[in-house]
Structure 1
Amino acid sequence: MSWLERELEERRLNRLDLLIWPIGIAVAILWALPFVWMVSTSLKFPADVMTQDIEWLPSRVTFDNYIKVFEYPVVRWGVNSLIQAAAATFFCVLFGAMAGYALARMNFPGRNLLFVIFLASLMIPVEVSVIPLLLAFVKIGWASSYQALILPAIGNVFSVYIFRQFFLNFPSELEDAAKMDGAGPFNLFFRIALPLARAPAIAASVIIFTLNWNSFLWPLLVTFDESMKTLPVGVAAFTPVVGTRTQIEGYSVAMAAVTILSIPSLLLFCFLQRYFIQGISQGSVKQ
């Protein structure tokens, strides 16, 4: 490629960037607007929520909505959610990495078929398995317990997919060198493969933690005690709709509760976004 051709190619790419960047910024703003409105409403007085003129920023600020939220056992609900989401994420990432490594690096009959079955399970609605699971946990006496909240969330096909795609591109020279030193399958995985899979592990952790933290249906069904509720289930109590009537004064309190619920996921992504993007790209682009 000549110098002139390279220059024309760079200019074409720059023009394409000029088109893509404004579109990307516009989409990002549209995604951020509901969050801005949520935080703004949580800081408003109830009388300032329903107004003729749209107020993106509150004309007067109050923190009474957050005080009303913390009159409920929000801290206890948050601790339950943290225990459930952290434990489920840890085991889900660990088992997903083990399954992904086996599907990518080990040769056994039906390997590809098993992976296809894993992917096909994503098409099965969660509601199909909720009732049998609930009956099973109630029968063995594990309802309203941490094991009931954690165990069903351990299996996640998305975690297996991310690790399988990463380990498909894993250098075989590292495994060959370890095998020459007498390393077995478990040593290969825990001492060689897993420590080098930091990026996909972080990417899977962010996604799975967010899913578990925001999980609503299963914790709603399996927790019968107030002390075992998770934060999403507890936040649902702040809904401003009661029967067929809408309580306008409840909107600001509900927005305060939802803001508290969204903070951990946002902080986690902000701190780990670089590794998250790297892990997703490594798991989706085959080198």
Structure 2
Amino acid sequence: MRNRALHIAGNTLYYFALIVIALIFIFPFVWMVSSAFKPVDEIFRYPPVLISQNPSLEHFIEVFQVVPFARYMWNSFFVSTTVTLVALLLHAMAGYALARLRFPGRKVIFIGILSTLMIPFYTIMIPLVLLVKALGWIDTYWALIVPAIPHAFGIFWLRQFFLGVPRELEDAARIDGASRIGVFFHIALPLARPILAALAVFFFLANWDAFLWPLIATSSQKMRVVQVGIQSFAGEQGSAWNLIMAASTVAILPTLILFFSLQRFIVRSVKMSGLKG
């Protein structure tokens, strides 16, 4: 009986700690959304007020009137979606080749790809700017899309997954007359859907939240992405926190929709994440 009581007390303490940690992480998001509906004077009121007494959509309307925020949202959506789709295809092909094909230098190539994870972006930023400028891509979608496609993490994760796929499935398809490309598209890719969905969320969020490279690679207002657009509300005369909060609330909606749409695939990918060497 005493052990059962200790077990219940331990579980209660455990779940209480989880709830507290969850509230700590959720509170900034709740405060951002709440502040987006507050009048300016309520944002800086002390003691602070979580729920506005006079909520309004005025800040959301003003965000789209002050700057072409819809254009910023489109730029981010187009770049993030394009990078995600192209990266998933190319990374899946690379991961499959490294896992299934036998060719000289395969392990050396894989180690070389993994080693790029240790190189900070800041060390290649200037050479990348010079390369993009030489190609005439500055202030174009090419500059925002092409450098963001390669990522060693995606290739690594997909390679490890394909290593765990039973070869009997591929052998059966080859016996039935399927080509190597057919096996890849009809056997390997469908099996990798949970991993691809998790990587889709990862790639989309990484590019949607990108700030430094889009700030460097673009100069005109029409090519700004949403994160650079939000930064434009902070000027020398101070930050327009009411507009920043409203713009941030709008900007987070596509990521929430994507996450909840692919949530079940992400859970499946975690369950399947036992890696085979």
| CA offset digits 1:17-73 (Å, max 9, x no partner) | 545433322222211111000011111111111122121212221211111101110
Deviation at 1:156, TM superposition (A): 1.3
Aligned mate of 1:185, from 170, 176, 180: 180
Aligned mate of 1:174, from 161, 169, 177: 169
Alpha-carbon distance in structure 1 between the residues aligned to 2:8 and 2:57: 47
The count of corresponding residues between Structure 1 and Structure 2 is 274
Deviation at 1:102, TM superposition (A): 1.7
Aligned mate of 1:28, from 7, 22, 36: 22
Aligned mate of 2:258, from 262, 265, 268: 268
Aligned mate of 2:59, from 61, 65, 68: 65
| Corresponding residue number in structure 1 for 2:144 | 149
Structure 1 length as normaliser, TM-score?
0.87
Aligned mate of 2:195, from 192, 200, 216: 200
Q: Is this contact kept in 2: 1:231–1:261, CA < 8 A?
A: yes
| Corresponding residue number in structure 2 for 1:135 | 130
Say whether 1:91 aligns with 2:113: no
Alpha-carbon distance in structure 1 between the residues aligned to 2:7 and 2:145: 48
Q: Is this contact kept in 2: 1:163–1:283, CA < 8 A?
A: no
Aligned mate of 2:221, from 218, 226, 232: 226
Residue identity matched to 1:107: R
| Corresponding residue number in structure 2 for 1:251 | 241
Aligned mate of 2:50, from 41, 46, 56: 56
Identity %: 38
Deviation at 1:96, TM superposition (A): 1.1
> Which consecutive residues of structure 2, in runs of 5 or more, have no partner in the other structure?
none
Relative distance call for 1:192 and 1:145 in structure 2 (3 A) is same
Alpha-carbon distance in structure 2 between the residues aligned to 1:206 and 1:86: 10
Aligned mate of 1:40, from 12, 16, 34: 34
Alpha-carbon distance in structure 2 between the residues aligned to 1:34 and 1:194: 38
Alpha-carbon distance in structure 2 between the residues aligned to 1:166 and 1:286: 7
Deviation at 1:16, TM superposition (A): 6.3
Alpha-carbon distance in structure 2 between the residues aligned to 1:214 and 1:46: 26
| Corresponding residue number in structure 2 for 1:4 | none
Aligned residue runs from structure 1 range 104-143, under 5 A: 104-143=99-138
Alpha-carbon distance in structure 2 between the residues aligned to 1:127 and 1:284: 32
| CA offset digits 1:237-264 (Å, max 9, x no partner) | 012xx44x645xx211111111111111
> Which consecutive residues of structure 1, in runs of 5 or more, have no partner in the other structure?
1-7
Alpha-carbon distance in structure 2 between the residues aligned to 1:199 and 1:263: 23
Residue identity matched to 1:257: A
Structure 2 length as normaliser, TM-score?
0.90
Alpha-carbon distance in structure 1 between the residues aligned to 2:276 and 2:124: 34
Relative distance call for 1:232 and 1:13 in structure 2 (3 A) is same
**CA RMSD across the alignment:** 2.3
Q: Is this contact kept in 2: 1:238–1:257, CA < 8 A?
A: no
Alpha-carbon distance in structure 2 between the residues aligned to 1:77 and 1:36: 24
| CA offset digits 1:66-105 (Å, max 9, x no partner) | 1110111011111111110000000111111111112222
Q: Is this contact kept in 2: 1:216–1:232, CA < 8 A?
A: yes
